[in-house]
């Protein structure tokens, strides 16, 4: 039976911060409501300082809402047990430089109550998942930015949570590392894990998310299914492979003869700069 | 649907505190803090050469050097343990906030009191291990030197025609200055003082964001703690103004919040070869545990509502 309790339920969240002793409070989040069902990948996008991280911190109980409620699988976020099923990767995490990859995962695993064989197996499984088996015994002080993000993602997954919250998961990571993290998010989605990520990298969100919310100056200004939000309803796209020029001409004529229809554009679709970069790197490595 | 791992999780406050405390201990140990043991060893060895010239007689032979070893060693232990407990505690919390590792810990099902208690116990474990190692070095140096002094005194006293009773009395007097239970009690007193300072630094670091501020305020309280009893007594005895109910209440409140470190001066008596009564050690242990618990609970009170 499909689970009906939302993985995340944020109702009219308001968060004010005091700016100075007698100054007016700064409203960082203003009446934001978000509902994420189990298994969905939700992207919260917005410019810097729009309230994305504040919303996430309130959901994790790191901040107390000025008004409104946050719940994770039906449990109030201010309760410690609401974090039983959550994994969190903060923006630009540093972790403990004196620990190796294995020690880091063991530490977080033990905090979640894992022990013995079960912990050992889970650590090995996660190191394989994030591709850090070769660097397992290296101290985190020697990890690259991308490796730190991946070990961060592994620690977020250590107790096999049903919800993973990622705050700017690819910030400062090169395109190869960024692709690896996106592939990991795809893997999480395949395993039915709910993902709540925030980013200001729109292409990344477009690629991985089912649902999107746009937050600006603390207010949710648009929300819905990604396909619905970005589809241009009055246009249809046909992409042909190896089409001869005369075929394209015939199609253009056919369209021109059809009343009420306009040919907007023909030409070659373009790849993204990121895909070009990754392809060139891969070819160079061969 | 619960995941298979969630069914197998073993969770308890004690377990989580143990995980955080062993981690804090490892973190501090990997900052190479144990290097100061080399300095301590140097101090212990140097204290062997502080044998001041005395009047002739077997009683005076080596009497100074034993006191000197204890005095320098216990002094160094006090200095290292207090500095270590304050600086290490002041460092841990702000560093976790700055590196955002605190987010990853509190985003797990970890109550904030477990986090605080774990960090504090980690520092205390480090101080305890450090003191144990320093104690070992001190006892070793003192044992060797006591044996030498006893032999030297016995030879001189026999040559001077001391009776067997006088010889036994002299020997007992010298051994009282060697390694004994009171000396170990004095090391425990040093530990309890460090425990109070660590928990005080923990409290200050819950509302301070800088290691420097925490360190300075902690040492200021340490300094005040050595004089607060004198100042309080002076105030209470200074005319009728000090005899009122409010003054007595204020005095009691100050005692409850600020430790009186003069109580810990019993170490000086041990250095002079006097015994440390069990009752006094028990009282110091009670005071140490009381202030450590009081400051930790106050830290929790502030940290529980702190936003990150």
Gap from B111 CA to chain A (nearest CA, Å): 6
pLDDT band, residue A182 (cuts 50/70/90): confident
Please report, in angstroms and rounded to a whole number, the separation of the first and last CA atoms in chain B: 31
What Cα–Cα distance (Å) separates residue A10 from each residue in A29, A36, A83, B92, B229? 12, 9, 15, 33, 54
Same domain, A250 and A226: no
The reply to whether residue A98 touches residue B31, judged by beta carbons under 8 angstroms, is: yes
Which of B2, B5, B110 to probe the A interface (max A CBs under 10 A)? Answer: B5
pLDDT band, residue B249 (cuts 50/70/90): confident
Q: Cβ–Cβ contacts within 10 Å for residue A280, how many?
A: 10
For the cut 90, the answer to whether the pLDDT of residue A95 exceeds it is: no
| B residues 266-305 lying closer than 8 A (beta carbon) to A | 305
pLDDT of residue B154: 83
pLDDT band, residue A235 (cuts 50/70/90): confident
pLDDT band, residue A92 (cuts 50/70/90): confident
Q: Is residue A238 part of a domain?
A: no
Same domain, A80 and A177: yes
* Share above pLDDT 70 across residues of chain A, in percent, rounded to a whole number: 94
- Mean pLDDT for A31-47 is 92
Same domain, A266 and A216: no
Q: With an 8 Å Cβ cutoff, is B158 touching chain A?
A: no
CB nearest to A114's CB, from B9, B26, B106: B9
For the cut 50, the answer to whether the pLDDT of residue B73 exceeds it is: yes
The reply to whether residue A159 touches residue B6, judged by beta carbons under 8 angstroms, is: yes
- Mean pLDDT for A57-79 is 93
| A residues 98-117 lying closer than 8 A (beta carbon) to B | 98-99, 107-108, 110-115
Question: Which residues in chain B are contacts of A81 at CB distance < 8 A?
Answer: 109
- Mean pLDDT for B3-11 is 56
Residue of B nearest to A161 (CA): B3
pLDDT of residue A238: 85
pLDDT of residue B55: 57
pLDDT of residue B9: 59
Q: Is residue A237 part of a domain?
A: no
Q: Is residue A1 part of a domain?
A: no
- We report the CATH number of the domain holding residue A133 as 3.40.50.300
| B residues 94-153 lying closer than 8 A (beta carbon) to A | 99-101, 103-111
Same domain, A209 and A96: yes
Q: Is residue A200 part of a domain?
A: yes
Task: Return the structure tokens found at A45.
Answer: 């996008």
Strands A211-216 and A219-225: antiparallel
For the cut 90, the answer to whether the pLDDT of residue B58 exceeds it is: no
Which of A113, A156, A166, A198 to probe the B interface (max B CBs under 10 A)? Answer: A113
Same domain, A79 and A109: yes
Q: Is residue A236 part of a domain?
A: no
The reply to whether residue A111 touches residue B20, judged by beta carbons under 8 angstroms, is: yes
Same domain, A277 and A169: no
**How far is Cα A153 from Cα A170, in angstroms, rounded to an integer?**
11
Which of B4, B11, B107 to probe the A interface (max A CBs under 10 A)? Answer: B107
Task: Return the structure tokens found at B40.
Answer: 């301590």
Who wins on pLDDT, A269 or A186?
Answer: A186
Same domain, A193 and A221: yes
For the cut 70, the answer to whether the pLDDT of residue A21 exceeds it is: no
For the cut 60, the answer to whether the pLDDT of residue B253 exceeds it is: yes
Q: What is the pLDDT of residues B79-124, one digit of tens each?
A: 999 999 999 999 888 888 888 889 999 999 999 999 999 999 999 9
**How far is Cα B108 from Cα A28, in angstroms, rounded to an integer?**
25
- Domains in chain A: how many in total? 2
For the cut 50, the answer to whether the pLDDT of residue B1 exceeds it is: no
pLDDT of residue B161: 80
pLDDT of residue B205: 92
The reply to whether residue A62 touches residue B101, judged by beta carbons under 8 angstroms, is: no
For the cut 80, the answer to whether the pLDDT of residue B51 exceeds it is: no
For the cut 60, the answer to whether the pLDDT of residue A1 exceeds it is: no
Q: Is residue A272 part of a domain?
A: yes
pLDDT of residue B67: 84
Q: What is the pLDDT of residues A156-173, one digit of tens each?
A: 999 999 999 999 888 777
The reply to whether residue A61 touches residue B10, judged by beta carbons under 8 angstroms, is: no
Q: What is the pLDDT of residues B151-206, one digit of tens each?
A: 888 888 888 887 888 888 888 888 888 888 899 999 999 999 999 999 999 999 99
The reply to whether residue B107 touches residue A115, judged by beta carbons under 8 angstroms, is: no
pLDDT of residue A226: 82
What Cα–Cα distance (Å) separates residue B47 from each residue in B42, B62, B73, B77? 9, 12, 8, 14
Q: Which domain holds residue A272?
A: 245-285
CB contacts < 8 Å between A and B, how many?
106
Q: With an 8 Å Cβ cutoff, is A5 touching chain B?
A: no
Same domain, A199 and A266: no
pLDDT of residue A243: 86
Same domain, A226 and A249: no
Q: Is residue A71 part of a domain?
A: yes
Contacts of residue A10, Cβ cutoff 8 Å, sequence gap at least 6: A32, A33, A34, A35, A55, A58, A59, A68, A69, A70, A71
Q: Is residue A2 part of a domain?
A: no
- Mean pLDDT for B120-137 is 94
Same domain, A252 and A217: no
For the cut 70, the answer to whether the pLDDT of residue B234 exceeds it is: no
**Most confidently modeled of A259-268, B40-49, B123-132?**
B123-132
Q: State chain B's mean pLDDT as an integer.
A: 84
Which of B6, B108, B300, B308 to probe the A interface (max A CBs under 10 A)? Answer: B108
Question: pTM for the full model?
Answer: 0.83
Gap from A111 CA to chain B (nearest CA, Å): 6
Same domain, A132 and A89: yes
The reply to whether residue A63 touches residue B308, judged by beta carbons under 8 angstroms, is: yes
Same domain, A222 and A197: yes
């Amino acid at each position: 039976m499909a689970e009906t309790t939302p993985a995340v339920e944020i109702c009219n969240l308001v968060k004010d911060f005091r700016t100075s002793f007698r100054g007016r409070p700064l409203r960082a989040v203003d009446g934001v409501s978000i509902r994420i069902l189990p298994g969905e990948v939700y992207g919260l996008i917005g410019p810097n300082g729009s309230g994305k991280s504040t919303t996430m911190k309130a959901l994790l109980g790191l901040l107390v809402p000025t008004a409104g409620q946050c719940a994770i699988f039906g449990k109030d976020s201010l309760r410690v047990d609401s974090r039983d099923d959550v994994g969190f990767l903060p923006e630009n995490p540093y972790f403990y430089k004196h620990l190796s990859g294995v020690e880091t995962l063991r530490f977080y695993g033990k905090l979640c109550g894992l022990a013995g064989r079960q912990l050992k197996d889970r650590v090995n499984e996660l190191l394989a998942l994030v591709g850090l088996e070769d660097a397992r015994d290296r101290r985190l002080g020697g990890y690259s930015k991308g490796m730190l993000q991946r070990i961060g993602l592994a620690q977020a997954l250590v107790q096999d949570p049903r919800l993973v919250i990622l705050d700017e998961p690819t910030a400062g990571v090169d395109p190869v590392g960024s692709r690896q993290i996106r592939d990991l998010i795809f893997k999480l989605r395949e395993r039915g894990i709910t993902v709540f990520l925030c980013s200001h990298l729109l292409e990344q969100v477009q690629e991985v998310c089912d649902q999107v919310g746009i937050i600006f100056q603390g207010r949710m200004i648009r929300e819905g299914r990604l396909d619905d939000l970005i589809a241009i309803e009055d246009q249809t796209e046909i992409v042909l492979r190896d089409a001869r020029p005369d075929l394209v001409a015939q199609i253009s004529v056919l369209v021109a003869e059809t009343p009420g229809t306009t040919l907007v554009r023909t030409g070659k679709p373009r790849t993204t700069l990121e895909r070009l970069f990754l392809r060139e790197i891969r070819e160079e490595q061969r | 649907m619960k995941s298979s791992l969630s069914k197998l999780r073993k969770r308890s406050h004690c377990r989580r505190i143990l995980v955080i405390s062993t981690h804090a201990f490892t973190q501090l140990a990997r900052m190479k803090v144990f290097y100061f043991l080399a300095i301590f060893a140097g101090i212990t060895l140097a204290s062997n050469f502080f044998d001041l010239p005395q009047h002739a007689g077997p009683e005076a032979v080596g009497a100074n050097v034993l006191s000197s070893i204890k005095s320098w060693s216990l002094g160094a232990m006090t200095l290292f343990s207090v500095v270590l407990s304050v600086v290490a505690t002041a460092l841990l919390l702000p560093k976790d906030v700055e590196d955002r590792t605190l987010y990853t810990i509190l985003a797990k099902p970890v109550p904030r009191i477990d986090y605080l208690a774990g960090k504090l116990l980690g520092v205390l474990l480090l101080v305890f291990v450090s003191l144990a190692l320093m104690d070992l070095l001190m006892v070793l140096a003192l044992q060797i030197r006591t044996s030498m002094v006893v032999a030297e005194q016995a030879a001189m006293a026999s040559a001077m025609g001391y009776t067997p009773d006088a010889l036994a009395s002299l020997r007992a007097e010298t051994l009282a200055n060697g390694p004994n239970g009171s000396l170990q009690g004095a090391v425990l007193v040093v530990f309890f003082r460090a425990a109070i300072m660590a928990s005080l630094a923990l409290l200050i670091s819950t509302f301070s964001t800088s290691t420097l501020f925490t360190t300075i305020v902690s040492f200021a309280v340490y300094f005040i703690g050595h004089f607060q009893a004198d100042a309080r007594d002076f105030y209470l005895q200074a005319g009728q103004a000090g005899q009122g109910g409010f003054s007595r209440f204020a005095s009691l409140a100050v005692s409850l919040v600020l430790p009186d470190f003069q109580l810990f001066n019993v170490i000086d008596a041990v250095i002079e070869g006097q015994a440390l009564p069990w009752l006094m050690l028990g009282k110091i242990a009670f005071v140490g545990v009381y202030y450590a618990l009081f400051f930790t609970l106050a830290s929790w009170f502030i940290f529980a509502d702190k936003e990150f």
